[in-house]
């Protein structure tokens, strides 16, 4: 009797593998962690005295590091007890409390048909592979070579090429005796009542076979070689074998990469085929991708079958952020205790392939290490959506957060999310504090400007021009001679690096690419990088670095920067801040700084293009350019408002504590 994959998955999910194996194996109390579903014992397949047999409920797999046996629920019973597969299924179904399916002649016929169609797909895969290595595939081979793929990687993923001819695959399969009905059922040709003669669906494309969880080819993705193609990427249409929203590219390999004691700790969802393949070649084998569309509920379910907290990786640009927020909204109703997602945002303009192409996996690993939890993504989106200077706006934010978290189905998790959001709101809108002769708000959009008194709006504007420097400091000899006063943002970046040199070591590439508008800080950055280069792999202390910088004439600038951040009460930039807090704040300010520079460049370019269009009397293009300029200016204004969050950042981070600083 044949069993549907859905039935087998259901009974496996209902019964922990430890419950099946635990009836035959005594678990070792010292090595076993039952709370995590992690079990160790002596292997029942070979005689041993030291436990080397491991099973993990989360993965539903067992493995012996002594004799090498591995498998799932059914394999354990068939191998250890010598029973047939249907008998093993019956035992597991009994433990799960699920009745065995009744024999179904139609289901048996469909299973047989699926097997036949998979055989056809295998023939098509081999044909595409052969074509890639032929004279027809020269252009495709050159493209893959330019993308940095090795022959071994091409073979591992069974990449191929579909020739330009309209009927190359169709004629090949017909020559193998495959009837046209099966070719059509596999989605390999375009056919229909209004198409007199069917023709190949994939033409002049690099072919990516898409595998089932059982590692059988069930569909293809094709990347067009011609820049004039209607679609850059084209997937198989839905068939008896394939439903796009239910499949993840590289699912089977990623699942294998997570098995065993030394397996990957999570699974990473990236955007496309080439991202997965490039990461695999760099040694990151636990990546998957949806098939050219936004992540679906079923695909998210597949991720959760592999790990309790998959990492969703998106580009750091506007489109990537929007996709990340959509994924957050998709996941939120379905999370539960120990079941969530986190988000890794790539540097703007980079994809995984870019990160690993030249420097290996290290840059990508750094991005993964900075992945944000789901709750942080929700908070970031809502708290950066505008100005909250009035009570009404604050109430609106609170109501929106409550509405968003109410969709969480699990009552316990929902309660904890609502509590976390209340705590963030309380910190964000901290009660006003007396600061000398003025009142300051602790957070919120435009908080400092709207809640100051004593200086009014004019005082606020003057303060913003001097980056938070007090009037007495602005009149002092320290500032005289420094007409190019640093912005507060640049002061934070520079001083954090100096006070916490480990950030310089960890983020050297980003800091080396960093550009400051302030000329003095730009010179300071060059001196700091030179010190790091001379130190090499050896660590150097903050004190040693400052002594060297003062000897090079930066003493006055260092005092100026220190006074700026202390007047602004930005504890994360001072030496008293905990290293993890300083690093987190630095990366946030760095991202804001880099994005702001990009937006300024875009505004300048658009203004020049508008001027050119006006000279040419190109009215049609002027309106489009003006609309683009307004959109960029809106984002720039949003980031400018967001900079208020830097002021008082030490208050926003709950871990940062410090004494009051004299202004």
- Name the most confidently modeled range: 256-270, 460-474, 493-507: 493-507
Tokens of 425: 């709101």
**Residue position matching structure tokens 């919120």:** 444
Could you report the per-residue pLDDT of 213-234, keeping only the tens digit for each? 878 999 999 999 998 888 899 9
User: Which residues partner with 41 through β-bridges?
Assistant: 27, 53
318/187 Cα distance (integer angstroms)? 35
Structural contact between residues 230 and 205, judged by C-beta atoms closer than 8 angstroms: no
Cα–Cα nearest to 408, from 375, 453, 437? 375
297/304 Cα distance (integer angstroms)? 11
pTM: 0.56
Pick the CATH number of 104-242 from 3.40.30.10, 3.90.190.20, 3.20.20.70, 3.90.980.10: 3.90.980.10
107/640 Cα distance (integer angstroms)? 61
Q: Where are the beta strands (DSSP E) in 95-232?
A: 160-162, 189-192, 195-200, 205-211, 217-224
**Residue position matching structure tokens 């050119």:** 612
The pLDDT value recorded for residue 514 is 76
Give me the phi and psi of 235, to 5 degrees please: -105, 160
As a whole number, mean pLDDT of residues 333-356 equals 89
CATH homologous superfamily of domain 5-96?
Zinc finger, CHC2-typedomain (3.90.580.10)
273/222 Cα distance (integer angstroms)? 10
Could you report the per-residue pLDDT of 381-421, keeping only the tens digit for each? 998 877 788 889 889 999 999 999 999 999 999 999 999 99
The pLDDT value recorded for residue 160 is 97
Could you report the per-residue pLDDT of 487-541, keeping only the tens digit for each? 888 888 889 988 998 887 777 767 777 778 888 888 888 888 877 766 654 566 8
Structural contact between residues 413 and 337, judged by C-beta atoms closer than 8 angstroms: yes
Helix (H, G, I), strand (E, B) or coil at 504: helix
Res. 73 pLDDT band, cuts 50 70 90: very high
421/398 Cα distance (integer angstroms)? 8
Contacts of 1 (CB under 8 A, 6+ apart): 86, 103
The pLDDT value recorded for residue 211 is 94
553/620 Cα distance (integer angstroms)? 55
Strand 311-314 and strand 342-345: the pairing is parallel
Tell me which of 588 and 185 has the higher pLDDT.
185
All CATH 3.90.980.10 domain ranges of the chain, comma separated, are: 104-242
244/294 Cα distance (integer angstroms)? 11
What number of residues does the chain have? 663
387/641 Cα distance (integer angstroms)? 7
CA angle 391, 392, 395 (to 5 degrees): 85
Which of 158-162, 275-279, 633-637, 655-659 is predicted with the least confidence, judged by mean pLDDT?
655-659
- Which uninterrupted H or E stretch holds 287? strand 287-288
As a whole number, mean pLDDT of residues 304-328 equals 89
* CB-count burial class (<10 Å; 0-12, 13-18, 19+) for 412: exposed
351/294 Cα distance (integer angstroms)? 17
Res. 295 pLDDT band, cuts 50 70 90: very high
Strand 287-288 and strand 268-269: the pairing is parallel
Tell me which of 111 and 161 has the higher pLDDT.
161
Res. 377 pLDDT band, cuts 50 70 90: very high
All CATH 3.90.580.10 domain ranges of the chain, comma separated, are: 5-96
The pLDDT value recorded for residue 113 is 67
Contacts of 228 (CB under 8 A, 6+ apart): none
Give me the phi and psi of 440, to 5 degrees please: -125, 140
597/517 Cα distance (integer angstroms)? 10
**Residue position matching structure tokens 């439903």:** 243
3-state secondary structure 540-553: CCHHHHHHHHHHCC
Could you report the per-residue pLDDT of 448-458, keeping only the tens digit for each? 333 333 333 33
Pick the CATH number of 248-429 from 3.40.50.2030, 3.40.1360.10, 3.10.150.10, 3.40.50.2300: 3.40.1360.10
All CATH 3.40.1360.10 domain ranges of the chain, comma separated, are: 248-429
Structural contact between residues 490 and 497, judged by C-beta atoms closer than 8 angstroms: no
Tokens of 3: 């069993």
Does the pLDDT value for residue 464 go beyond 80? no
| Other residues' Cβ atoms within 10 Å of the Cβ of residue 141 | 18
The pLDDT value recorded for residue 112 is 61
Could you report the per-residue pLDDT of 540-549, keeping only the tens digit for each? 688 888 888 8
184/113 Cα distance (integer angstroms)? 13
Structural contact between residues 118 and 151, judged by C-beta atoms closer than 8 angstroms: no
Does the pLDDT value for residue 645 go beyond 70? no
Cα–Cα nearest to 400, from 416, 412, 409, 388? 388
312/3 Cα distance (integer angstroms)? 33
> Mean pLDDT, the chain, as a whole number?
81
Tokens of 572: 């994360």
| Other residues' Cβ atoms within 10 Å of the Cβ of residue 308 | 15
Structural contact between residues 61 and 18, judged by C-beta atoms closer than 8 angstroms: no
Q: Where are the beta strands (DSSP E) in 3-82?
A: 38-41, 53-56, 61-64, 70-71
Percentage of residues in the chain with pLDDT exceeding 70?
83
DSSP state letter for 266: S
Helix (H, G, I), strand (E, B) or coil at 337: coil
């Amino acid at each position: 009797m044949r069993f549907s994959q859905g039935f087998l998955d259901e009974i496996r999910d209902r019964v922990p593998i430890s419950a099946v194996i635990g009836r035959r194996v005594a678990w070792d109390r010292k090595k076993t962690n039952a709370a995590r579903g992690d079990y160790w014992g002596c292997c029942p397949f070979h005689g041993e005295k030291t436990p080397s047999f491991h099973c993990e409920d989360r993965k539903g797999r067992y493995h012996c590091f002594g004799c090498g046996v591995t498998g799932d629920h059914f394999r354990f019973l068939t191998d250890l007890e010598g029973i047939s597969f249907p008998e093993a299924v019956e035992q597991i179904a009994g433990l799960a409390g699920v009745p065995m399916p009744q024999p179904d002649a139609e289901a048996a016929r469909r299973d047989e048909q699926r097997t036949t169609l998979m055989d056809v797909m295998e023939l098509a895969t081999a044909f595409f592979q052969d074509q890639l290595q032929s004279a027809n595939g020269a252009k495709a081979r050159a493209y893959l070579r330019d993308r940095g793929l090795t022959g071994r990687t091409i073979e591992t993923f069974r990449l191929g090429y579909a020739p330009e001819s309209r009927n190359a695959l169709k004629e090949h399969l017909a020559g193998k005796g495959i009837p046209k009905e099966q070719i059509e059922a596999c989605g390999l040709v375009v056919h229909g009542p209004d198409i007199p003669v069917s023709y190949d669906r994939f033409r002049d494309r690099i072919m990516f076979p898409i595998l089932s969880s059982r590692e059988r080819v069930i569909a293809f993705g094709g990347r067009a070689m011609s820049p004039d193609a209607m679609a850059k990427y084209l997937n198989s249409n839905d068939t008896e074998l394939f439903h796009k929203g239910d499949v993840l590219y590289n699912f089977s390999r990623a699942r294998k990469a997570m098995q065993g004691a030394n397996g990957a700790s999570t699974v990473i969802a990236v955007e496309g085929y080439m991202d997965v393949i490039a990461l695999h070649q760099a040694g990151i084998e636990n990546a998957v991708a949806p098939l050219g569309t936004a992540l679906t509920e079923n695909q998210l379910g597949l991720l959760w079958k592999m790990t309790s907290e998959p990492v969703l990786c998106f580009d750091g640009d506007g489109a990537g952020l929007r996709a990340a927020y959509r994924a957050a909204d998709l996941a939120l109703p379905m999370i539960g205790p120990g079941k969530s997602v986190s988000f890794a945002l790539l540097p703007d303009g980079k994809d995984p392939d870019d990160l690993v192409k030249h420097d290996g996996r290290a840059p990508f690993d750094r991005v993964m290490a900075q992945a944000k939890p789901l709750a942080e993504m929700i908070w970031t989106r809502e708290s950066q959506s505008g100005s909250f200077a009035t009570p009404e706006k604050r109430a609106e934010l609170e109501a929106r957060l409550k509405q968003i978290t109410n969709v969480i189905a699990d009552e316990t998790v929902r309660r904890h999310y609502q509590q976390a959001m209340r705590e963030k709101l309380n910190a964000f809108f901290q009660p006003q504090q007396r600061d000398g002769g003025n009142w300051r708000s602790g957070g919120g959009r435009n908080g400092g400007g709207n809640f100051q008194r004593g200086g009014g709006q004019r005082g606020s504007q003057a303060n913003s021009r001097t980056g938070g420097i007090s009037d007495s400091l602005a009149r002092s000899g320290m500032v005289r001679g420094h007409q190019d006063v640093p912005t507060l943002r640049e002061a934070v970046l520079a001083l954090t690096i100096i006070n916490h040199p480990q950030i310089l070591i960890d983020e050297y590439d980003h800091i080396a690419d960093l550009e400051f508008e302030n000329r003095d800080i730009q010179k300071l950055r060059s001196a700091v990088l030179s010190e790091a280069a001379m130190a090499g792999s050896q660590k150097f202390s903050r004190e040693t670095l400052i002594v060297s910088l003062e000897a090079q004439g930066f003493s006055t600038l260092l005092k100026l920067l220190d006074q700026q951040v202390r007047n602004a009460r930005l504890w994360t930039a001072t030496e008293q801040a905990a290293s993890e807090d300083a690093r987190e704040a630095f990366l946030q300010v760095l991202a804001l700084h880099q994005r702001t520079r990009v937006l300024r460049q875009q505004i300048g370019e658009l203004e020049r293009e508008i001027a050119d269009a006006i000279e040419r009397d190109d009215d049609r293009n002027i309106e489009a350019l003006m609309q683009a300029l307004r959109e960029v200016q809106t984002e720039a204004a949003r980031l400018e408002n967001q900079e208020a969050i830097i002021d008082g950042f030490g208050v926003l981070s709950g871990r940062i504590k410090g004494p009051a600083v004299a202004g």
